[in-house]
Amino acid sequence: MKTGGAAILRRALVRNRVRLGIGTLLVCLHQVAETLVPIAIGVIVDRAVATGDTSALVVWLCALALLFVVLTTAWRFGARFLVLVMQNEGHRLRMEVAHRILDPRGVRTDLRAGELLSVSSTDADRSAFIADIVPRAASALTAAVGSAVALLLIDVPLGLAVLVGTPVILGLLQRAAPLITRRATDQQAAVARASGMATDLVSGLRPLRGIGAEDAASQRYRSASRDALDATLHTARSSAVFTGVSMTVSALLAVGIAGFAGWFALEGRITIGELITVVGLSQFFIEPLGVLAGLPGSLALTRASADRVALVLDAEPLLPAGSGLIPAGSELSLSGVSYRSLTALDLRVGSGELLGVVAYRPQDAEALAALLSGQVPPERYEGEVTVGGVRLSDADRGHARRTVLVEPHNGDLFSGTVVSNVTAGRPDAPEAEVQAALRASAAVDVIDAHPDGLDHEVTDRGASLSGGQRQRVALARALMRRSPVLVLHDPTTAVDAVTEHMIAGGIADSRHRDSAGSGQTTILLTSSPALLSVTERVVVLDEGTVVAEGTHAQLAADDAHYRRAVLR
């Protein structure tokens, strides 16, 4: 169901209506008390100071003190309710966006990873500001109406000036709201693009250094950052002009009211106490009128963020729901598959087979890994991919993910500890299985290299570990899942030759030689001779299709092209 930015804001108000209502009533009470302060001071002047009545002075001073108690208490508890609403709503929106992004069916959007991060954090939090805008509007209106009523009781023309002037000013200022909304939307999009590019650059920093492309990447980011800065400054200038004009007009209205009050006092139409009240109300009135004048700009920013949140929440799923069928085995089949660089590819992998796939072109291996991951919508490729006799596009998404696990060569780690990363898929796994996975992936060396062992801290994306350590911990995590079909894409590119031989034997032992691994299928997308030597069969891809097949030993002996690609 489509929501849209406006619907997201309405829903935020509805589902927080109780706390929001209480908080709004309390801040409105605060504004009423604020409005009564200059009135009380005027009464004290007329009934106690001017008359010299000491007892009246004491009574009215006590009333003024009570008024300040009410004023302070109402603000304190009202603000507490409203802050709680904003924080809770921001959390809910962040969770909704994150849940949508992490949906097993994926999300069909053109937003990049960094932009999605911006939506799930900054835009979600800013959308929750609607819980601040509504109470501010209500309290400012309360103050405006209260001031107008008080001025009407003192002098009708003064009250009418407020009642007529306020909506006229707000109506004129409201005409600038669409412009501010457009500029705020453009600014947030530009900032999100810069954030997305920064995320991509950080995640790909090592490859960029390897090919010497740091300067080109830096120039691209500098350009995106400059665009974001220009958009931000453009929006800031518009908002500053809007705020300046609104505050100036509000101040002129207040000064006009105070000037007329002084004139009326000289003519004897109002008392000195009433003059003090009018001057106090005119000064106080500047703030709520300024708030009302600035609300269109604040609402524009909030609406722009809500629209960006809606881009994610309203996005269609990338993959179909599936028929709920569950794969009944671990055999895998590709029939006439064409996707990216793959062309009419036919491939059969038997249940329990340890298969090696050598792709002379890296893009073929990447396309095959992406296809087997289940992340590609069926309309983007031709042919049929089946697992356990069930088409991958028809299978229940949860079971499909548990049946086929594709581990990329640059798999990310989560912040936490080594053991929390290794057991991410099976948090309750027995200690013996954890140790077995660590041995099979040669990650025991990672444990032994740090005093805290399994409890060694891992920072976000595994930045606290070396490339080889990250790769081995990620491999241990993949082995721990014990998925019926495991696809490993270049799992040893960051380790030395000795460790690579240990890992090759560990993968074969844990998934195909131990009794616990009976029936598990493993596909190694690699050109490593150590890994290929433990496979039962090797399939060679070139130009997007199968060009050779056999054991590693046979191909190494009979195929010169294979020898050049593998035994280099």
318 and 377 Cβ atoms separated by less than 8 Å: yes
Per-residue pLDDT at 205 exceeds 50 = no
Q: What is the mean pLDDT of residues 547-551?
A: 95
Question: Considering the chain, what percentage of its residues have pLDDT values greater than 90?
Answer: 36
Q: Is 211 a residue whose pLDDT tops 60? A: no
Chain position carrying tokens 């706390």: 19
Q: Note the pLDDT of residue 375.
A: 83
CA dist list (Å): 105 to 109, 373, 376, 402: 13, 12, 10, 14
Q: How far is CA 94 from CA 89, 98, 133, 189, 268, in A?
A: 8, 6, 19, 18, 61
Cα–Cα nearest to 378, from 311, 320, 441: 320
Looking at per-residue confidence, does 265 or 527 come out higher?
527
Task: Name beta bridge partners: 354.
Answer: 522
The average pLDDT across 533-560 equals 94
Among 123-132, 169-178, 287-296, the least confident range: 169-178
pLDDT tier at 162, thresholds 50, 70, 90:
low
130-140 pLDDT per residue, tens: 999 999 999 98
In this predicted structure, what is the pLDDT of residue 88? 94
| C-alpha dihedral sign at 158, 159, 161, 162 | positive
Q: What tokens appear for 39 in the block?
A: 């009135």
Per-residue model confidence as pLDDT tens digits over 316-367: 887 777 666 777 778 999 999 999 999 999 999 999 999 999 999 999 999 9
For residue 488, the cross-strand partners are: 407, 524
Between residues 488 and 198, the one the model is more confident about: 488
Nearest to 44 by CA among 32, 28, 61: 61
Alpha helices in 212-271 (DSSP H): 214-267
* Banded model confidence at residue 182, pLDDT cuts 50, 70, 90: low
pLDDT number for residue 170:
62
CA 318 centroid distance within chain: 18
Q: Is the Cβ–Cβ distance between 170 and 249 less than 8 Å? A: no
Asked if 356 and 370 count as a contact pair (C-beta separation under 8 A), the reply is no
Nearest to 474 by CA among 405, 404, 413, 523: 413
pLDDT at 153: 81
pLDDT at 522: 95
Q: Tell whether pTM > 0.75.
A: no
Whether 207 shows a pLDDT value over 60: the answer reads no
Average pLDDT value for the chain: 83
> Cα–Cα distance between 39 and 276 in angstroms, integer?
8
Q: What is the pLDDT of residue 202?
A: 55
Model pLDDT, residue 255: 74
Q: pLDDT, tens digit, for every residue of 410-455?
A: 777 888 888 888 888 788 888 888 899 999 998 887 787 777 878 8
Whether 131 and 13 have beta carbons less than 8 Å apart is answered as yes
Confidence check: pLDDT of 530 > 50:
yes
**Does the pLDDT of residue 517 top 70, yes or no?**
no
Torsion sign across C-alpha atoms 525, 528, 534, 538: positive
| Pairwise CA distance, residues 243 & 251, whole Å | 12
- 102-116, 185-199, 296-310, 534-548, range with the lowest pLDDT: 185-199
The C-alpha atoms of residue 350 and residue 481 are separated, in whole angstroms, by 20
**AA letter at 158:** L
pLDDT tens digits, 225-249: 777 777 777 767 766 666 667 667 7
Among 47-56, 223-232, 273-282, 528-537, which range has the highest average pLDDT? 528-537
> DSSP 3-state assignment of 114?
helix
The pLDDT tens digits for 373-385 are: 888 888 899 999 9
Give the mean model confidence (pLDDT) for residues 555-565: 92
For residue 302, what are its two tokens?
């909030």
- Model pLDDT, residue 163: 66
- pLDDT at residue 21, as a whole number: 95
With a cut of 80, say whether residue 532 has pLDDT above it: yes
Residue 64 has which token pair?
């003024």
**Measured on CA atoms in the order 350, 355, 358, 362, is the torsion positive or negative?**
positive
Q: What is the pLDDT of residue 39?
A: 86
- Report the pLDDT averaged over residues 292-302: 78
Give the highest mean pLDDT range of 68-82, 151-165, 386-400, 427-441. 68-82
